[in-house]
Amino acid sequence: MNKIVENNTACYHCGDACSSGSTILFNEKPFCCSGCKTVYQILNKSDLCDYYSFNAEAGVKVNENRDATKFAFLDNPTIAATFITFANQQQTAVKFYLPQIHCSSCLWLLENLHKLNPSIFFSSVNFPAKEVTVHFDQFKLSVRELAELLASIGYEPHITLDSDNHTVNDQKMLSRKALVKIGIAGFCFANIMMLSFPEYLGLETLARDGLSPVMFRAINLVLSIPVLLYCGAEFFVNSWYGFKQKMLNIDAPIALALIVTFARSVYEIVSGTGAGYLDSMTGIIFFMLLGRAFQTKTFANLKFNRDFKAYFPIAVCKLNEAGEEIFLPVNEISVDDKIRIRNNEVIPFDGILINGKAEIDYSFVTGENEPNTVKISEIVYAGGKQTNGAIELLVIKPFSQSNFTRLWNNEAFKKEEKNGYTFTGIISNYFAVVVLIIAAAAFIYWMNINPKNAWNAMTAVLIVACPCALLLTTTFTQGFLLNIFSNKGMYLKNANILQTIPFINHIVFDKTGTLTYPNISTVQYEGSPLNAADEMVFAAMFAQSLHPLSKSIAHSMQANQLVLEHIKEVAGSGIEAWENETHYKAGSAAFVGSSAPNKTGSEVWISINDKVYGKYEVANLLREHVDVMINSLPYAVSI
């Protein structure tokens, strides 16, 4: 049995607060919604309630209104094959990315999927990558059914176009290449250090039985060559790019220090005057690569800077000549194809509306989430989200040529704003020049005093002044702080922003959907009272208007069946109607004849027979505790 109670307890499954009057009790346990209760029932039926014993309130909230056909595209063998990692006559293995994985309870449940469905043989979880690999009987369970099973227990697979291309594999290849470089540099660095112990302890004079210091130095030289030419290549490449742009970046003094260190080491080994500094050179490269890999890994785990394709559906429902649905990848949809877009789906194509009631939310493109009504035969643009049932479109531009795609790929959006506050940016502009000046001054000074020490002085300056410590500190600190921020729910566009935070003097909040609730408005009427008949006419006027403010007002007024035959909408001004020989107007202050200054975008004035009655004020509803958050900012900044 389950019943509704009125209290504010925490949901037994997901831990969210149960709003007053909506708490569902089942088996004497509170749930915030029927979705969480359903997951509990599924786990309880399969004797998997130990899931809750690892972490209290470990569950993930489930979308109660999930579309039953959301994963229908996985019935397409071509699409399903992109997630299959292994298949034979006995079993198939599928890998899904599950962003909901966050604790040991998730790990335990996902590795016990076989208890939920006997067609599953076993499953394994890659916790850091938030990926699950499931081995199952493909003759009894399909890829679509597996995805639906995961979604039913709160672990809906994150499937986007990025899953259907080589982006992820390319990232892994780059990561593997970086690991190989780190491995080679670490191996050579450790062995050079080990072979140099006799030099460190001054034992080279005790060498006997052919164990000459020359042999150890030669081995060190051989080990250092791949570190310099392969592992350290990126420092030279970056320096070269800087020279081509007529600037000295922070990699330039590092590259110079590596060249000088290697050259001096070769000279000392060949001339027999010393062992050189090959241990220092390989150590610099090893720790620099390690620091950069740490920062790169931190950014890769965040995954908030996604490609635009990640926001579009991986497949689209195409309608054939018989009106039957066929799910195809978006790249296989052509011009003049008819497609069906379901409720809350993002539209990947520019198309003409041919059927259905289109209420398009373009907040993904414009930042404003007020739905735009589109009439039959009008154009619907890519990037919008349908919010009122299913619609049918005739594609007029393929996915790669849509206006939204061209906008996203515009170079103007890829440029980073330059600023003078980045610490490494400031250092890189002058560091190399200063080092060269000091090295030249040391060389000239010692040439006049003791020419034998001139080269030693110059190379010592270049080696000691290597900014490796500076960059190591920067990369490790940035990676560590980014990880801390992400755990607290704070995401930065890039690591360099960390160094600009102390200089922030303006904070800009996006109002709609950030400071305010996206789909909730408050409507307040100020003016002379309206009788029931007049209020009914205005309600009908607002209901028939396409303007976002009219829709908000109509939503707040009592619905009625009145349909106005004589109604006219004046773009940018307002609407007017005639009913029972009475002239009604609603719109801007100037449109209805009011002398009051109009607050653009927040007021709708009304008049009857040219007599101004009052106005409706429409305001977005602020999220709870926004005022407390803004007032508690301890910084001298403008909001």
pLDDT confidence band for 400 (50 / 70 / 90) = low
Q: Are residues 463 and 565 in the same domain?
A: no
CA angle 302/286/188 to nearest 5° reads 135
Residue 304 has pLDDT above 50, yes or no: no
Max avg pLDDT among 8-17, 328-337, 404-413, 583-592:
583-592
Looking at per-residue pLDDT, the higher value among 313 and 502 belongs to 502
Query: Do 292 and 427 belong together in one domain?
Result: yes
Residue 469: predicted pLDDT = 60
Residues 152 and 176 in one domain: no
Q: What's the rounded mean pLDDT across residues 58-85?
A: 74
Q: Is the pLDDT confidence value at 305 over 50?
A: no
Average pLDDT over residues 491-506: 74
Residue 6 in this model has a pLDDT that exceeds 70: no
Residues 181 and 268 occupy one common structural domain: yes
Burial 365-394 (b: 16+ CB within 10 A, else e): beebbbbbebeeeeebbbbbbbbeeebbbb
Task: Please check whether residues 352 and 387 belong to one and the same domain.
Answer: yes
Does residue 602 lie within any of the structural domains?
yes
Q: Which residue range(s) make up the domain with 33? A: 2-54
Name the DSSP letter for residue 522: E
CATH number at residue 102: 3.30.70.100
More confident of the two residues 547 and 141: 141
Whether residues 238 and 183 share a domain: the answer is yes
Mean pLDDT of 570-580: 85
Q: Are residues 300 and 318 in the same domain?
A: no
Q: Are 586 and 594 in contact (CB under 8 A)?
A: no
Mean pLDDT for the chain overall: 77
Is 59 part of any domain?
Answer: no
**pLDDT, tens digit, 9 for 90 and up, residues 136-176:** 998 999 999 999 888 888 788 887 655 444 444 444 445 67
Q: What is the pTM of this model?
A: 0.46
Give the distance, in angstroms, between the CA of residue 230 and the centroid of all CA atoms in the same chain: 33
Tokens encoding 581: 């020989």
Per-residue pLDDT at 598: 58
Question: Which amino acid makes up residue 129?
Answer: A
What percent of the chain lies above the pLDDT cut of 90? 11
In a domain, 132, yes or no: yes
Give pLDDT, residue 189: 94
Length of the chain: 639
Asked if 454 and 447 count as a contact pair (C-beta separation under 8 A), the reply is yes
pLDDT band at 4 (very low <50, low <70, confident <90, very high): very low
- Residue 506, domain member (yes or no): no
Q: Is 183 left (phi over 0), alpha (psi -120 to 50) or beta?
A: alpha
Between 189-193, 555-559, 584-588, 596-600, the lowest mean confidence (pLDDT) is in: 596-600
pLDDT, tens digit, 9 for 90 and up, residues 456-487: 788 778 767 666 666 666 666 777 787 788 77
What is residue 116's predicted lDDT score, i.e. its pLDDT?
84
Same domain, yes or no: 17 and 89: no
The answer to whether residues 20 and 152 belong to one domain is no
Mean pLDDT of 524-543: 88
Lowest mean pLDDT among 36-45, 276-285, 324-333: 36-45
Q: What pLDDT is recorded for position 407?
A: 56
> Given this model, what pLDDT does residue 5 score?
41
Q: What's phi and psi for 173, nearest 5 deg?
A: -65, -40
Would you say residue 72 has pLDDT above 70? yes
Looking at the fold, whether 393 and 441 belong to one and the same domain comes out as no
Percent share of the chain, pLDDT over 70: 73
Domain count, the chain: 5
Residues 550-578 have a mean pLDDT of: 80
Domain containing residue 329: CATH number: 2.70.150.10
In-domain check, residue 500 = no
H-helix segments, 272-338: 278-302
Q: Is the pLDDT of residue 406 over 60?
A: no
Give mean pLDDT, residues 430-447: 83
Co-location of 181 and 293 in the same domain: yes
Q: What share of the chain is helix, strand, coil (3-state, %, to 5)?
A: 45, 20, 35
Q: How far is CA 243 from CA 250, 251, 262, in A?
A: 12, 11, 22
Distance between CA 416 and CA 425 in Å, rounded? 13
Side-chain-side CA neighbours of residue 49 (13 Å) = 10
The answer as to whether 627 is a domain residue is no
Residue 57: strand, helix, or coil? coil
State the pLDDT at residue 613: 92
Predicted confidence band of residue 491 (pLDDT cuts 50, 70, 90): confident
Residues 379, 233 share a domain = no
CA distance 256 to 251: 9
pLDDT above 80 for 340: yes
Mean pLDDT, to the nearest integer, of 425-429?
59
**Does residue 421 have a pLDDT over 50?**
no
Asked if the structure places residue 416 within a domain, the reply is: no
The CATH code of the domain that includes 595 is 3.40.1110.10
Residue 404 within a domain: yes
